Amino acid sequence: MARGGDISGAEREVQKLASLRDSLGQAKNKYWAEQVEVQHRAASALVARAQGKSQEALNLLRSATDLEGSMDKHPVTPAPVVPTRELLGELLLELNQPKEALREFEGTLMAERNRFRSLFGAAQAAERSRDTDKARALYAKLVSLCDRADTQRPEFQQAKAYLTQ
């Protein structure tokens, strides 16, 4: 919602996450309360960014990433849909901090190999950092992983275009 411009709607959803987190905490369900807190911080960061509060957004996403990284993952719980470290990398790219973004994307890829958005983000960050060898290797890996996939995705097209330069 925040990325789409509906800041007030996003703020309402952030409040719902806070309420859910508080309810889980009162029920002594620490594991799920912390899981929801990660989402609360990440969503709050997206709202802050939409409001033009870039430093607050960075602080919130770093905090969410630290909390997410400190928690044990239950064996039957799937990985996050969007890791906060990946969101942090995307925000750092938006803020023209490609070297820092690359570090975050690489951190995501250490935990979740071959993640499309993290591979693409890392390749973009390497390209913007002028690390052409790394950018080429990352774009090539992305193209290789997706050679039989939907080739109309703009990210895939950008990767292929980079490799033909």
* Sequence spans of domains, the chain: 1-78, 88-165
pLDDT tens digit sequence for 131-164: 999 999 999 999 999 888 767 889 999 999 999 9
pLDDT at res. 72: 76
Instruction: Look up residue 111 and give its two tokens.
Output: 């935990």
Q: How far is the C-alpha of 115 from the C-alpha of 88, rounded, in Å?
A: 15
pLDDT at res. 74: 66
Question: Percentages helix, strand, coil for the chain, rounded to the nearest 5?
Answer: 75, 0, 25
Determine whether 165 is exposed, middle or buried from the number of CB atoms within 10 Å of its CB (0-12, 13-18, 19+).
exposed
CATH no., domain 88-165: 1.25.40.10
Q: What is the mean pLDDT of residues 31-52?
A: 96
The pTM (predicted TM-score) of the whole model is 0.91
Q: How far is the C-alpha of 10 from the C-alpha of 6, rounded, in Å?
A: 6
